[in-house]
């Protein structure tokens, strides 16, 4: 593998430096670096980050290849600056066996755009009744460390307790989709002023918060790690903050769209805004931003949820929930957190690479940009401003709420173990 | 006038009064031997009903036929919808047949709005009830009924409902009728009070332009009109209230309670009525109950809406009398 010299990049937003990649490893970081045989990437003014890591991606393969495949999803990830994604288990068949998780993992390896770390289902068929073979999935080639029934909540307290206890044997973590099912029967959007006006079934904040409260207590009781998926309410933030103040091993994520969009947008009845958990209020958005800034929320996770056009081009009630997010995640984070002064680029690296990799126990990712580390890197033109055009997405699906919206930042290069997957904003 | 009628909240006071005044003119047609106007001759209206509703469909159909429109009735049951066809495809298929207006009833809140704003079709869209969202022609016919009874049939022309006190009782949470009425009655200057058990009051109702009470007995003496809503028995399984008997005791309208209303006050019901639970037979059958008038007025209101939305630029009455000569 040839050498690459990234010249003049602001590593983690700091002063300009040169970074030399040799093979799959960072060979040197400093100023005035030279390498005669290296391909030079002029990066003056651009921000160099460790390759982004997503804890929460839906790749849809196997089963819904009309929405996304491991190939198209990882291409989208590379365009978005990601070098590793965790693929959620709600596929068809469900990723609840060693065979399915290995299949997904191998497809990721073969395509080579981004490492794919499968998430295993907590329960068989995501049905919440019987524990899936968590150990077998961990022991498989995929080495599963994160388990989640995402899309569904593990609402049975005993099953949740057992899962939390069981994964302690190999350091795994249970990632909970916090949604009390009875409180959200028929729910279609955030419960509040807007849902009352629109006549759409309300999804109360307490349906999320009550499960989080229960689960942090359960995790503390059995001494296990728990990760809370896509926090969406100010109350959820308070519970996680309280649990952390107790010293409990609780982590949490927030999606880019929950940092930016509110339930007021649902007034359009445009299903592009239909998402699970639902878009909440302005006060919730501000609380989530603050919590990401102060570290209460550990990381940003995309919840990239691709759907074919026909699943969204319909009436609200019939539409699928979710939106794509891999290719716009960094721009939304820059817009909501960096440009507003809530986070600097070093903290973005922490929230979008270091911490998610640590939560997923993902070796080789989320490492410092320093000599001897794997060359998983992302170069960002933070000064860029442009309108989002989904026609150019690498994802197979286009269900983005940002069509035509101006967002800052553009990933110009992504390197996976020293191999460029994106150059000048284009897939390689 | 608007191009579509999706929500009662979209109507200005002047729009609403124009519809009510036009409906008065349309009502006169019903008094004639031949109850028909040539106004929409050559225009095609589709009644697109994804949800069963015999009375609303027949009301719209009667209105369309009295205006001489060509009418196509489409019910989802037994149609291509039951074979999996989407709303978009169904609508586009109908538009390809040259439809000028679509009257849509749908179980999903927002479906008519999507139909009107998504670019799928060009026809005018009239919401005939969507999920728990809106039922604007119901609100208009209710307001029409109130204006006739409380202000007067002829003296009401050009007037709104300023200062009238309207009480709406029952399952507010699931009621598109309640939402539509709150919006429209507020626009028309009325003071609205919602009465229901707290379980059947929507979160966020404090932002609505109305008052909320849990006690019917304190509200009735100050009401000019009391609108009883249908309570769906299946709600009981979801624990919205303990028993039918308890509901009837606390929120039902019976003779004793009606006697505490002012002498001029009316009792309204959008139907179908569940006698014995939300309303006793004594009240339902009394002269003060306007349930059947509301049905009659519904045709006039729907005629007015169709006429105005489909290009009725001249006052309906002038046009009508010209045609008679």
Asked if A257 and A160 sit in the same domain, the reply is yes
| B107–A contact, CB cutoff 8 A | yes
Burial of A125 (0-12, 13-18, 19+ CB in 10 A): middle
| B205–A contact, CB cutoff 8 A | yes
Percent of the residues in chain A that have a pLDDT greater than 70, as a whole number? 100
Substitution target from B7, B114, B121, B179 for chain A, most A beta carbons within 10 A: B114
Asked if A28 and A62 sit in the same domain, the reply is no
Asked if A16 and A119 sit in the same domain, the reply is no
Q: Are A73 and A59 in contact (CB under 8 A)?
A: yes
Q: Pick from A326, A359, A392: which residue ends a domain? A: A359
Q: Is B131–A200 a contact, with Cβ atoms under 8 angstroms apart?
A: yes
Asked if A105 and A144 sit in the same domain, the reply is yes
Rounded to an integer, the average pLDDT of A104-120 is 97
Tell me the residue range of the domain where A83 lies. Answer: 52-359
Q: What is the pLDDT of residue A301?
A: 98
Q: Is A54 a catalytic residue?
A: no
Q: What is the pLDDT of residue B236?
A: 65
Kindly identify which residue of chain B lies nearest to residue A203, measuring between CA atoms.
Answer: B203
Q: Pick from A317, A336, A359: which residue ends a domain? A: A359
B136-291 to CATH, choices 3.40.50.300, 3.30.2290.10, 3.60.21.10, 3.40.50.1370: 3.40.50.1370
What b/e string do you get for A18-54 counting C-beta neighbours within 10 Å, with b at 16 or more?
bbbbbeeebbbbeeebebeebeebebeebbbbbbbbb
CA–CA separation, A203 vs A336, rounded Å? 25
Substitution target from A184, A191, A196, A280 for chain B, most B beta carbons within 10 A: A196
pLDDT tens-place string over residues B126-170: 999 999 999 999 999 999 999 999 999 999 999 999 999 999 999
pLDDT tens-place string over residues B269-294: 998 888 888 899 999 999 999 999 99
Rounded to an integer, the average pLDDT of A322-338 is 98
Residues of B in contact with A196 (CB under 8 A): 202-205, 207-208
Q: Which residues in chain B land under pLDDT 50? A: 317-325
Q: How far away is chain B from the Cα of A73, in angstroms, using its nearest Cα? A: 27
Q: Is B204–A268 a contact, with Cβ atoms under 8 angstroms apart?
A: no
Q: Are A329 and A300 in contact (CB under 8 A)?
A: yes
In chain B, domain spans: 4-134+295-311, 136-291
CATH 3.10.580.10 applies to domain B4-134+295-311: no
Domains B4-134+295-311 and B136-291 share a fold: yes
Q: What is the pLDDT of residue B311?
A: 72
Distance from first CA to last CA of chain A, Å, rounded?
Answer: 15
Give chain A's domain count. 2
Of residues A188, A195, A316, nearest to B204 (C-beta): A195
Q: How far away is chain B from the Cα of A204, in angstroms, using its nearest Cα? A: 9
A–B CB contacts, 8 A cutoff, strictly below:
77
Asked if A144 and A28 sit in the same domain, the reply is no
CA–CA separation, A117 vs A134, rounded Å? 15
| B10–A contact, CB cutoff 8 A | no
Provide the angle, in degrees to the nearest 10, between the axes of the packed helices A205-222 and A234-245. Answer: 10
Detail the residues of B annotated as belonging to a binding site for carbamoyl phosphate: 55-56, 105, 135, 138, 271-272
Of residues B176, B203, B208, nearest to A199 (C-beta): B176
Note whether residue A136 is domain-resident. Answer: yes
Asked if A243 and A176 sit in the same domain, the reply is yes
Q: Coil, helix or strand for A19?
A: strand
Long-range CB pairs of A139-143, under 8 A, 24+ apart, other chains included: A139/A98, A140/A98, A140/A101, A140/A102, A140/A105, A141/A102, A141/A105, A141/A106, A142/A98, A142/A101, A142/A102, A142/A104, A142/A105, A142/A117, A142/A118, A143/A117
Q: Pick from A302, A324, A359: which residue ends a domain? A: A359
Q: Are B115 and A180 in contact (CB under 8 A)?
A: no
Give me the catalytic one of A96, A263, A303, A311: A303
Asked if A347 and A410 sit in the same domain, the reply is no
- Kindly give, in sequence order, each residue whose CB lies less than 8 Å from that of residue B151, ignoring residues fewer than 6 positions away: B159, B161
Of residues A193, A202, A316, nearest to B114 (C-beta): A316
Rounded to an integer, the average pLDDT of A215-235 is 98
Long-range CB pairs of B309-312, under 8 A, 24+ apart, other chains included: B309/B1, B309/B2, B309/B3, B309/B4, B309/B5, B309/B101, B309/B124, B309/B126, B310/B40, B310/B43, B310/B100, B310/B101, B310/B124, B312/B22, B312/B39
Note whether residue A63 is domain-resident. Answer: yes
Name the residue with tokens 């003119």: B25
Name the residue with tokens 């994802």: A395
Asked if A41 and A65 sit in the same domain, the reply is no
Asked if A158 and A216 sit in the same domain, the reply is yes
Residues of B in contact with A314 (CB under 8 A): 86-88, 114
Q: What is the pLDDT of residue B238?
A: 74
Note whether residue A368 is domain-resident. Answer: no
Judge if the upstream peptide bond of residue A93 is cis by omega within 30 degrees of 0.
yes
CB-CB neighbours of B14 under 10 Å = 11
* pLDDT exceeds 70 at position A65: yes
Asked if A75 and A30 sit in the same domain, the reply is no
Asked if A20 and A148 sit in the same domain, the reply is no
Q: What is the pLDDT of residue B1?
A: 67
Asked if A339 and A415 sit in the same domain, the reply is no
Q: Is B110–A269 a contact, with Cβ atoms under 8 angstroms apart?
A: yes
pLDDT tens-place string over residues A350-398: 999 999 999 999 999 999 999 999 999 999 999 999 999 999 999 999 9
What are the E-state strand segments in A23-107? 25-30, 39-42, 47-50, 52-57, 82-87
Cα–Cα separations (whole angstroms), residue B38 to A131, A174, B43, B324: 70, 69, 10, 10
Note whether residue A66 is domain-resident. Answer: yes
- Residues 133-152 of chain B whose Cβ lies under 8 A from any Cβ of chain A: 133-134
Note whether residue A364 is domain-resident. Answer: no
Give the count of alpha carbons within 13 A of B119, CB side only.
Answer: 2
- Model pTM score: 0.91
| B130–A contact, CB cutoff 8 A | yes
CATH number at residue A320: 3.20.20.140
């Amino acid at each position: 593998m040839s050498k690459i010299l990234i010249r003049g990049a602001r590593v983690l937003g700091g002063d300009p430096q040169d970074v030399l990649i040799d093979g799959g490893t960072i060979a040197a970081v400093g100023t005035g670096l030279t390498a005669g045989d290296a391909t030079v990437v002029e990066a003056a003014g651009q921000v160099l980050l460790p390759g982004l890591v997503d804890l929460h991606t839906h790749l849809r393969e196997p089963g819904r290849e009309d929405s996304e495949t491991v190939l198209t999803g990882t291409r989208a990830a590379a365009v978005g600056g990601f070098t590793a994604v965790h693929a959620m288990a709600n596929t068809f068949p469900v990723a609840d066996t060693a065979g399915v998780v290995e299949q997904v993992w191998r497809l990721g390896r073969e395509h080579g755009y981004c490492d794919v770390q499968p998430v295993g289902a907590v329960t068989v068929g995501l049905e919440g009744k019987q524990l899936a073979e968590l150990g077998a999935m961990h022991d498989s080639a995929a080495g599963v460390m994160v388990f989640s029934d995402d899309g569904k909540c593990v609402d049975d307290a005993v099953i949740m307790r057992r899962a939390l206890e069981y994964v302690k044997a190999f350091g795994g973590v249970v990632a909970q989709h916090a949604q009390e099912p009875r409180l959200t029967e028929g729910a279609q959007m955030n419960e509040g002023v807007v849902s009352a006006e629109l006549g759409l079934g309300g999804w109360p904040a307490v349906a999320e918060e009550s499960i989080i409260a229960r689960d942090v207590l359960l995790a503390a009781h059995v001494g296990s790690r728990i990760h809370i998926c896509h926090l969406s309410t100010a109350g959820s933030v308070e519970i996680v903050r309280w649990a952390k103040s107790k010293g409990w091993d609780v982590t949490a994520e927030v999606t880019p769209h929950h940092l930016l969009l509110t339930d007021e947008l649902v007034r359009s009845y445009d299903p592009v805004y239909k998402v699970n958990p639902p878009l909440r209020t302005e006060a919730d958005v501000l609380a989530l931003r603050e919590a990401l800034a102060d570290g209460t929320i550990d990381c940003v996770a995309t919840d990239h949820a691709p759907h074919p056009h026909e699943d969204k081009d319909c009436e609200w009630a019939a539409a699928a929930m979710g939106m794509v997010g891999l290719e716009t995640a960094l721009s939304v984070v820059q817009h909501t957190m960096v440009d507003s002064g809530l986070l600097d680029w070093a903290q973005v690296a922490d929230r979008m690479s270091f911490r998610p990799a640590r939560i997923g126990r993902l070796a080789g990712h989320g490492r410092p940009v320093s000599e001897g580390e794997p060359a998983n890197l992302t170069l960002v033109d933070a000064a860029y401003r442009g309108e989002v055009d989904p026609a150019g997405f690498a994802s197979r699906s286009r269900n983005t709420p940002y069509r035509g919206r101006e967002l800052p930042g553009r990933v110009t290069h992504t390197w996976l173990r020293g191999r460029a997957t994106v150059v000048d904003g284009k897939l390689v | 006038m608007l191009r579509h009628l999706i929500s009662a909240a979209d109507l200005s006071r002047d729009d609403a009064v124009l519809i009510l005044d036009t409906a008065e003119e349309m009502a006169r047609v019903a008094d004639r031997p031949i109850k028909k106007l040539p106004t929409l001759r050559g225009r095609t209206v589709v009644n697109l009903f994804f949800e069963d509703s015999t009375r609303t469909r027949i009301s719209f159909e009667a209105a369309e036929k009295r205006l001489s429109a060509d009418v196509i009735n489409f019910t989802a049951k037994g149609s291509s919808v039951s074979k999996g066809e989407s709303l978009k495809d169904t609508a586009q298929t109908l538009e390809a047949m040259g439809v000028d207006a679509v009257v849509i009833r749908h179980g999903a809140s927002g479906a008519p709005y999507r139909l009107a704003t998504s670019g799928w079709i060009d026809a005018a869209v009239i919401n005939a009830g969507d999920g728990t969202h809106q039922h604007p022609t119901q609100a208009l016919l209710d307001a029409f009924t109130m204006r006739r009874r409380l202000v007067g049939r002829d003296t009401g022309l050009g007037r709104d409902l300023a200062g009238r006190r309207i009480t709406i009782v029952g399952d507010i949470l699931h009621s598109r009728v309640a939402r539509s009425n709150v919006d429209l009655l507020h626009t028309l200057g009325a003071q609205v009070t919602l009465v229901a058990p707290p379980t059947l009051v929507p979160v966020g109702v404090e932002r609505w332009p109305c008052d909320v009470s849990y006690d019917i007995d304190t509200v009735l003496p100050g009401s000019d009109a009391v609108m009883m809503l249908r309570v769906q028995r299946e709600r009981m399984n979801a624990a919205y209230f303990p028993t039918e008997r308890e509901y009837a005791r606390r929120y039902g309208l019976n003779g004793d309670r009606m006697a505490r209303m002012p002498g001029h006050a009316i009792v309204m019901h959008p139907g179908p009525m569940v006698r014995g639970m939300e309303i006793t037979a004594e009240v339902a059958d009394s002269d003060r109950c306007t349930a059947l008038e509301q049905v009659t007025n519904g045709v006039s209101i729907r005629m007015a809406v169709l006429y105005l939305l489909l290009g009725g630029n001249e006052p309906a009455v002038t046009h009508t009398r010209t045609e008679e000569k």
